[in-house]
């Protein structure tokens, strides 16, 4: 089990390539979320939605290595690999990102891995549901979709606790302005009285956004309790088929 925003997918059974990558950027974008970029190794090919494993040294004891998995937030054609990490008190990756990862730092990376990729066999409307750093794989997936199918309806629901936890707002608002088929729905579970957007957990917001669940593909990524709950609602109350419900859990 991986921590601190790590992917809870099935680890590969076959060897995967290992690369030494170099940090090119590390920025605190909200109070407890870092956005960092790493050099892309020559020949590194992946699909939007996949993840990588980092060999993360313990700060103060570089010989103590443990793996941590993170979704790729970059498009395959972008020059660097992009990631986001939420700080967790006492977390290994949290401390490494906050204290040791800066421009020029190197780290070992394995990948790509994972099957949380878009189903290309259907032209269903798309609903992306994210909490916290679970939004990472949806950035490249949405950008890739807009390049390949610019008219397909896309709804993105992004749930965090308060206004101070929101990030990438300008990016997704800009996509919404430029593309009439893109609809961005941030929601706060504990927003201030001045918040004018959606309120409540994403599970409660989804039926406010979607009234017809037919010909819909749902992708949910974030807190595992959220993804479990969304999947259960989709299959038992919203009448969706298993083939149209895709989830990944982060903790």
pLDDT at 162: 97
pLDDT by residue (tens digit) across 135-180? 999 999 999 999 999 999 999 999 999 999 999 999 999 999 999 9
Residue with tokens 């730092």: 105
What domains can be seen in the chain, in order of their start residue? Answer: 18-113 (2.40.30.10), 125-249 (3.40.50.80)
Residue 238 has pLDDT above 80, yes or no: yes
Rounded to 10 deg, the angle between the 169-178 and 138-148 helix axes is 20
Rg (Cα) of the chain, in Å, rounded? Answer: 18
String of DSSP letters for 112-178: EE------TT---EEEEEEEGGGGTTHHHHHHHHHHH-TTS-EEEEEEESSGGG--SHHHHHHHHHH
Residue 11 has pLDDT above 60, yes or no: no
DSSP state of 192: -
Sheet containing 61-71, strands listed edge to edge, beginning at the edge strand earlier in sequence: 61-71, 51-58, 106-113, 18-30, 33-39, 80-86
Contact 206, 233 (CB under 8 A): yes
Residue 5 has pLDDT above 90, yes or no: no
């Amino acid at each position: 089990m991986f921590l601190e925003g790590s992917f809870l997918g099935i680890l590969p059974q076959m060897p995967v390539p290992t690369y030494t990558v170099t940090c090119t950027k590390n920025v605190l974008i909200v109070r407890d979320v870092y956005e960092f970029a790493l050099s892309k190794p020559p020949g590194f090919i992946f699909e939007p939605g996949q993840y990588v494993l980092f060999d993360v040294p313990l700060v103060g004891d570089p010989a103590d290595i443990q793996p941590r998995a993170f979704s790729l937030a970059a498009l395959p054609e972008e020059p660097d690999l992009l990631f986001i990490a939420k700080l967790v008190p006492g977390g290994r990756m949290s401390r490494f990102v906050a204290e040791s990862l800066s421009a020029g730092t190197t780290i070992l990376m394995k990948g790509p891995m994972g099957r949380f990729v878009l189903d290309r066999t259907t032209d269903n409307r798309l609903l992306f549901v994210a909490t916290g750093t679970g939004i990472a794989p949806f950035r490249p997936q949405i950008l890739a979709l807009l390049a390949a199918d610019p008219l397909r309806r896309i709804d993105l629901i992004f749930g965090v606790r308060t206004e101070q936890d929101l990030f990438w707002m300008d990016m997704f608002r800009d996509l919404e302005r430029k593309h009439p088929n893109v609809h961005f729905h941030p929601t706060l579970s504990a927003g201030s009285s001045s918040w004018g957007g959606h309120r409540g957990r994403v599970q409660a917001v989804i039926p406010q956004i979607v009234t017809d669940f037919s010909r819909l593909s749902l992708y949910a990524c974030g807190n595992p309790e959220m993804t479990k709950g969304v999947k259960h609602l989709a299959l038992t109350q919203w009448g969706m088929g298993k083939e149209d419900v895709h989830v990944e859990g982060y903790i």
